[in-house]
Amino acid sequence: MSRLGNLGARLYQGEVGYDFVGKRKVWYGVSILITITAIVALAVQGLNMGIEFKGGAVFTTPKSEVGVTRATEVAEEISDHIPIVQELGTGGLRIQISGVDTAEADRVQAELAKALNIEADKINADLVGPSWGEQIANKAWTGLGVFMLLVVVYLAIAFEWRMAVAALVALIHDITITVGIYSLVGFEVTVGTVIGLLTILGYSLYDTVVVFDSLKEGQKDITKQTRFTYSEIANRSINSTLVRSINTTVVALLPVAGLLFIGGGFLGAGMLNDISLSLFVGLAAGAYSSIFIATPLVADLKERDPQMKALKKRVLAKRAAAEARGEAGEDQQDEASDAAVPDGAAAAGAVVGPRGRGRGRPSGRR
C-alpha cells in the first residue's frame, strides 16, 4: 500500500487526524478575509463584461501578417474603444469591440480591411445586441436560484436542515470567491464564464455531501455513548474522507489546469480562458469550503441543540473523572513505593534490591 493509501486508512480508522473543527475560528477568519477582498474588488473594479452583455461586434480575419499589437492599435484608432484582439490557431485574428452598433460596424469593417491590407468581404463580422446578454444574465440568475432552492430542500430531507444551511453558505462562499478572482485578474465575463460558474456548483456540493454522508453515519445513536462530542465526531468524519476529497479535487483540477494554462495561455483560445478559470478557482474553493467551512458550521449549529449540550457535559465529566482516577492511582503507586523503602535507605539514597553475600552471612559451609 502506498504512503497516501496508508495515511488514508489511518485517517479513516481514527488513528491519526487533524483538528479541523477545533480550529474553525481560524478558517472562518480566513474565509471572511477572502470574501471581503472579493467584495471590495467587485465594488471598486467591477467585472469586465463581454460584448454578450454590453453589445458590440466581433471581427474575424483570415491569416494576416499583422500582429496582435498592431491590430490592437489600429482597432482602437478606428473605433475609439479598447478592443480585445486574439490570435487564432489558423493565423487569423479575432477582434472584439464593445459598443459598436450596426451602422458603425460596417465602417469599422471597411477601415480594418484597409489598415490590415485584407479584402473587406473576407472579414467576418458578428454583431451582438445587449438585450441578448441581459436575457442570458436573467436566465443564469434564475437557474442559480432554482438550483440553490433544490439543494436546500434535498439536503434538508436527506440529512437535516443544519446541513442544508451549511451547504448553502459554502456555495455562496465559493461563488463569491470565484467572481472576486475574475474581478481582480480582469478576465472578461462571457457566456462561458456563466457556464463555468454553474458547473462548479455541482463539484462544490459533491465534496460537501461526501463529508455529510460520513457525518450522518457517525452520529447514529450519538446520545447513547459518552466517548465523543458532536464536534469530535464531525472532525473524525472530515479526516476519514480527507484523502478522498484531495484525490477527487486533484484529478478534477489537472485537466482544468491544462485548459487554463495550455489552451488559454499558449493557444490563446478565449472561450477556454472564460470557462477554465471559473472551473479552476471554483473547484479549489469548493474543496476548501467542504472541509473548512461546511462541516465546522454544521458542528457549530448542532452544538446549540440541548441534547448535544447535555452530551458534551457527560463526555467532559467522564473524562474529568477518568483523569482524576488516573491521578489518584499514580499517587497510590507512589505512596506504596515510598512505604517499601526503609527510612534510612531512602535518606541515603540507597536502592533496595536482592542481597548479595557479605560479612555476617553464613557461607553455607559446615
Angle ∠(306,312,314) on CA atoms, nearest 5: 105
Asked whether the predicted pLDDT for residue 346 surpasses 50, the reply is: no
pLDDT value of residue 359: 45
**What average pLDDT does this structure show over 335-340?**
52
Q: Tell me: the pLDDT tens digits for 229-287?
A: 999 999 988 888 888 888 888 888 888 887 777 765 555 555 666 778 888 888 888 88
pLDDT value of residue 360: 45
Percent of the chain at pLDDT > 70 equals 79
Asked whether the predicted pLDDT for residue 335 surpasses 80, the reply is: no
Q: Are 212 and 193 in contact (CB under 8 A)?
A: no
Percent of the chain at pLDDT > 90 equals 13
pLDDT value of residue 1: 52
Q: Which domains does the chain have, with CATH numbers?
A: 3-49+132-302 (1.20.1640.10), 56-128 (3.30.70.3400)
pLDDT value of residue 272: 67
> Residue type for 188, please?
E
pLDDT value of residue 167: 92
Q: Tell me: the pLDDT tens digits for 196-238?
A: 888 888 877 888 888 898 888 888 888 888 889 999 999 988 8
The whole-chain average pLDDT of the chain stands at 78
The model carries a pTM of 0.72
38 vs 41, 310, 351, CA distance in Å? Answer: 5, 40, 70
**What average pLDDT does this structure show over 145-165?**
90
Q: How confident is the model at residue 113 (pLDDT cuts 50, 70, 90)?
A: confident
pLDDT value of residue 296: 93
Asked whether the predicted pLDDT for residue 137 surpasses 90, the reply is: no
pLDDT value of residue 329: 63
CA-closest candidate to residue 136, choices 52, 20, 211:
52
**What average pLDDT does this structure show over 65-83?**
79
pLDDT value of residue 157: 92
What CA–CA distance (Å, rounded) separates 234 from 19? 10
What CA–CA distance (Å, rounded) separates 231 from 311? 11
Least confident of 128-132, 144-148, 198-202, 210-214: 128-132
Q: How confident is the model at residue 364 (pLDDT cuts 50, 70, 90)?
A: very low
Asked whether the predicted pLDDT for residue 365 surpasses 70, the reply is: no
